[in-house]
Amino acid sequence: MEKVTSAAAVELRHLDNLWLQVSGTRCNIECRHCFNNSGLHETSFGLMTLEEVNRTIAAAASRGVREIYFTGGEPFLHAQLLEMLACALTIAPTTVLTNGMLISDRIADALAALAIEARYSLEVRVSLDGYTEEMNDAIRGRGVFRLALAGVVRLARRNLLPLITIVRTWDDDDELAMLAAFARVLRDAGCDRPRIKILPALPLGRELTRVAGLQRDERVTTAMLEGFDLDLLMCSNSRLVTDRGVWVCPLLVDQPDARLGTTLDEAASSYELRHQACVTCWRYGTICGNLSALIEGPGIAAAPEAR
């Protein structure tokens, strides 16, 4: 007998992950696959104030938050980012997602000092979408590769070991060769212990216009969640705070129905998985956390090149 396939609702089990869209959608570049359409003149979300951020961190701390993430736009466009990171690190391990272009020697020194002083880990996640200037800049914009790589190397030289985040724009069969190529380029540049996180391409924002032929009618159903580990879905353990309220997860920030309230308390309600991006999250899991999303298919048959 066919199961009823209604859209599934997911409860917030615990606020493990607090996301702060600290720079709104303001970014110094405009990537072709950006899931929240951030850019130079994009103002759908604005900068959060230091006071707003500190107040939110305190509210999350009282809920026993496990990790804090800073995102945007480009977080380093916010003049008070370092103060915010310092505040976050007194409460929980903290990750900042950046394009790496603004990481000067001064910023890298400040981050290294924060990382050493803090009792919790500071992760700097730098986005790179190609291991050559040609490949990366076709997606992220002209001149981006050179500046981002320079930022990565500045961090690596200070033993900050940035986490390189790469959106998968290749076939699963090419995964190992691609990873090896990225690792080689990073090593040659002076980042001798490359750490790589793979992110699946998301059917959101500019990616919808970049890739033709996406199935647009897929939804997560209650049947799909039977026996499924809900911890793999952001909506069970995360919330995103912006200058315009609290959203269920970072990926759905363009969706009005995904805004759950103005405070974390209000936004603790359950959420119905109505979007195609929810299927991507269901399929790959751990999309936004610091570990790689798994590849589909038969697994790894040959020894990957040593990192």
Binding of residue 175 to other proteins (CB under 8 A)? yes
One-letter amino acid of 179: L
Per rule CB under 8 A, count of chain residues that contact other proteins:
42
Tokens of 42: 């994009």
Helix H segments across the chain? Answer: 50-62, 81-89, 105-117, 133-140, 144-157, 175-189, 207-210, 276-284
Which residues ranging from 1 to 20 are in contact with other proteins (CB under 8 A)? 14, 16
83 versus 192: smaller Cβ distance to other proteins: 192
Which residues ranging from 114 to 133 are in contact with other proteins (CB under 8 A)? 115, 119-123
Instruction: Say whether 251 sits in a helix, a strand or coil.
Output: helix
Q: What track of x and - describes contact with other proteins for positions 43 through 62 (by CB under 8 A)?
A: ------------------xx
160 versus 278: smaller Cβ distance to other proteins: 160
Given 5, 6, 132, 159, the residue binding other proteins (CB under 8 A): 159
Binding of residue 66 to other proteins (CB under 8 A)? yes
d(CA 90, CA 271): 30
- 209 backbone dihedrals φ, ψ, rounded to 5°: -90, -20
- 74 with 57: CB under 8 angstroms? no
Helix H segments across 141-228? Answer: 144-157, 175-189, 207-210
d(CA 67, CA 61): 10
Q: What track of x and - describes contact with other proteins for positions 187 through 226 (by CB under 8 A)?
A: ------x-xx------------------------------
7 versus 291: smaller Cβ distance to other proteins: 291
Task: Tell me which residues touch other proteins (CB under 8 A).
Answer: 14, 16, 61-67, 91-93, 115, 119-123, 159-161, 163, 175-176, 179, 193, 195-196, 231, 286, 290-295, 299-300, 303-304, 306-307
